[in-house]
Amino acid sequence: MGMKESMETSRSIEVVGIGIPYYDMVINVNKMPGLDGAASANEAFYQGGGKVATAMAAVARLGRRAGIIAKVGENHRGRFVLEDFRYNGVDTSAVIVDEPGTSSPFCLSLSEEEHKTRIFIGKEGTAGELQPEEIDYGYLGQAKYLHLENGRPASAAAARFAKEHGIVTVMDADNYQEGIVKLLPFLDVFIASEFFYRDMFGGLAYEAGCRKLMEAGPSVVIVTLGSRGSVGLTEKDGFFCTESFRMPVRDTTGAGDVFHGAYIVGMLEGMEAPECARFASAVSAVKCTCFGGRTGIPDRETAGKFLETGVIDDTEALERLDYYRKNL
């Protein structure tokens, strides 16, 4: 067994995420090289990554109390992951550090200026998978919201616990997994990518597919459509569409993760689903103006100013970029 992080939290956590944190290397080039080709990097630095992990960074950056339950490797990758959580304001007191010599997963995040696209090349770590019995349920029980990214045993156990204790569970259904589908009766807010949706429903119209998902359990269903915005369905609001914000994109890495975190913050602030989706879209758009999944996440004041005026104050983002540049 590993050891718990010793950092204590003095305030109760509002949002708890359970997921797999990554050690990311962020690289940006003007154009992807061809076979046997080469390219010069415009940016290169290390940063913490992962779906739920980055969503929790967004929750914290937007001023709410976020914590993560996860298992990380003991080596330099795991140590960096923890340090980056703390830099971004995410509580790590429920994180388990695995045995000496174990590593966290690694991901090369390569983005391109020419086509505004990216590719990911990952390598699994040697740290063990978080198990249901390793979850600190007392810590989870503090939360108002639980955020998940898969249907693995720990996530399934946490979703069941949340259902029993009145904690709202939000799922990031990015890639299609049978385990996620099986958890639908325990989920409250289901946010799926268009890829998950197409794998599950093919060409079925979005409103009809969202209705089928709602019938399985969630009260809110959102499907994110990248640059085309998102669609959603609730009984109160009916079927609705949210347009994306047109911004000068530098890197879309983590855009969906940040959307999820911002959507949860919207719910914490009492927004209805369409307003949550618009707020999340705005925060994600601001993020995309900077390199890396976490660098450009705005604070609440910056997000609010952007929604009101369309202007982005990038002062803090540039400071964070400088911070990350120094860790290469």
pLDDT of residue 318: 95
Among 8-17, 228-237, 250-259, which is the least confidently predicted range?
Answer: 8-17
Confidence bin at 328 (pLDDT 50/70/90): confident
Residue 326 neighbours by CB under 8 Å, 6+ apart: none
Query: Which domains does the chain possess?
Result: 3-19+54-102+130-325 (3.40.1190.20)
Smallest CA-to-CA distance from 288 within 252, 244, 324, 243 is with 252
Instruction: Give me the percent of the chain exceeding a pLDDT of 90.
Output: 92
pLDDT of residue 158 exceeding 50: yes
Q: What is the end-to-end Cα distance of the chain in Å, rounded?
A: 31
What pLDDT, in 10s, does the model give residues 33-65?
999 999 999 999 999 999 999 999 999 999 999
Residue type at 2 in one-letter notation: G
Buried b vs exposed e over 62-100: b needs ≥16 C-beta within 10 Å? bebbbbbbbbbbbbebbebbbebbebbbbbbbbbbbbee
Confidence bin at 5 (pLDDT 50/70/90): very low
When pLDDT is averaged across residues 200-211 and rounded to a whole number, the result is: 98
pLDDT of residue 11: 60
When pLDDT is averaged across residues 294-316 and rounded to a whole number, the result is: 96
pLDDT of residue 151 exceeding 70: yes
pLDDT of residue 117: 87
When pLDDT is averaged across residues 127-153 and rounded to a whole number, the result is: 97
Among 51-55, 113-117, 154-158, 168-172, which is the least confidently predicted range?
Answer: 113-117
